[in-house]
Amino acid sequence: MTIHSESLELQVGGESIAGTLVSPGSKMPGILFVHGWGGSQQRDLARARQITGLGCVCMTFDLRGHEKTASQRLSVTREQNLDDLIAAYDRLVSHPAVDSSAIAIIGSSYGGYLATLLTTLRPVKWLALRVPALYWDDEWQVPKQALDRKRLQDYRQRLLAPGDNRALGACVDFRGDVLLVESEQDDYVPHTTLMSYRSAFINAHSLTHRIVDGADHALSSEESQKAYSAMLGSWISEMVIGARLDRYPHYAPWYA
C-alpha cells in the first residue's frame, strides 16, 4: 500500500518542533447502508463499525418517514426515499478518504429495492441485497404506506422478468459483484422474489446467493443476526480486500 509522508512543524510555547504526518496514499472503498421500511440506521451501525475495520469508510442514514422524520411516514413516497438515497450516496463519495470508483451499497428489504434503482443513477461496484423487496412500477408517487399490501403479497409470489419491473431491469444492467441473502422463513419477501432478482443479474461480474436457515424477514433471532453478519462480513472482506490487492499489489491489512 502506498504511504504518504509529510514533514511538519508544531508550534509549542513559542518554539517549533518537528513532526511527520504519515497517512495512506490511497483512498478507501465507501460502503453505504440502506435500511428497510420501518427500520432505521441503528441496526446497521454495529455492522458498519465492524466493516470499517477492513479499511472502508461506512455510512448509515435514516430514510424520510423514519426516526426523526417519522411524522412523514404516511406521506413519503418511493420517489422521495430514492432521493434520500441519492443524497446519502453523494455525501459519502464527497468524503476525501473515499475512492469514488469503489462504492458498495448494502440494502435490506425496501432498502434493497431502492439500492437496485440507485445503480442506474450512480456508479456502484458492489451490491449486497438482503431479502430485497419488489414493488410494481405504477403508483410511484403514491405514499409508500398506502400501497395495497395484499396486492404486494400476490405480486411478489409471481416470477417476474426484467421487462416487468424497473428494479429488475436495473439488475440486468448491473455489472458489479452481487450478494443476495434470503431468509428461509420469510413471510414478506418469498423465495420467488429472490429468484426474480437472481435471474435478472445476468451481466453481474459475480453473484453469491445465501440463505439464512430458519430466519424470518426481520432476522428476529440473535442466531439469525449473527449468521447474516458473518455472511456479509465474509463477502465484503473478499470483495474489498480482493479489490485493494488488485489495485495495490503490495497492500496487506494490518491484521494479516
Res. 96: pLDDT tops 70:
yes
Site of grid cell 465507501: 30
Interval 126-146 mean pLDDT: 97
Closest to 200 measured CA to CA, from 210, 192, 189:
192
- pLDDT band at 104, cuts 50/70/90? very high
Question: Cα–Cα distance between 87 and 127 in angstroms, integer?
Answer: 18
For 145-161, what is each residue's pLDDT tens digit?
A: 999 999 999 999 999 99
Mean per-residue pLDDT of the chain: 90
Range of the domain at 151: 27-247
Q: Which of 4-18, 110-124, 175-189 has the lowest mean pLDDT?
A: 4-18
Question: Cα–Cα distance between 149 and 128 in angstroms, integer?
Answer: 25
Q: Which of 92-96, 123-127, 248-252 has the lowest mean pLDDT?
A: 248-252
Q: Is residue 188 part of a domain?
A: yes
CA-derived radius of gyration, the chain: 20
CB 100 within 8 A of CB 123: yes
Q: Is residue 21 part of a domain?
A: no
- pLDDT band at 250, cuts 50/70/90? very low
Question: Cα–Cα distance between 87 and 99 in angstroms, integer?
Answer: 17
Tell how many helices (H) and how many strands (E) occur in the chain. Answer: 7, 8
pLDDT-above-90 percentage for the chain:
74
Res. 15: pLDDT tops 90:
no
Q: Is residue 14 part of a domain?
A: no
Question: Cα–Cα distance between 136 and 164 in angstroms, integer?
Answer: 8
Q: Which three cell numbers stand for residue 218?
A: 426481520
Q: Is residue 17 part of a domain?
A: no
Pairing of strands 3-12, 15-24: antiparallel
Q: Which residue has the higher pLDDT, 30 or 19?
A: 30
Q: How far is residue 183 from each of residues 46, 104, 215, measured CA to CA in Å?
A: 20, 21, 5
- pLDDT band at 254, cuts 50/70/90? very low
DSSP 71: G
Q: What is the pLDDT of residue 93?
A: 93
Res. 173: pLDDT tops 70:
yes
For 52-71, what is each residue's pLDDT tens digit?
A: 888 889 999 999 999 999 99
Q: Is residue 11 part of a domain?
A: no
Number of domains within the chain: 1
Q: Is residue 254 part of a domain?
A: no
Cβ atoms within 10 Å of 61's Cβ, excluding its own: 20
CATH of the domain at 148: 3.40.50.1820
Closest to 171 measured CA to CA, from 194, 203, 140:
203
Q: Is residue 16 part of a domain?
A: no
Contacts for 54 with CB less than 8 Å, ≥ 6 apart: 236, 237, 240, 241, 253
Helix/strand/coil for 28: strand
Q: Is residue 49 part of a domain?
A: yes
Contacts for 145 with CB less than 8 Å, ≥ 6 apart: 65, 73, 74, 76
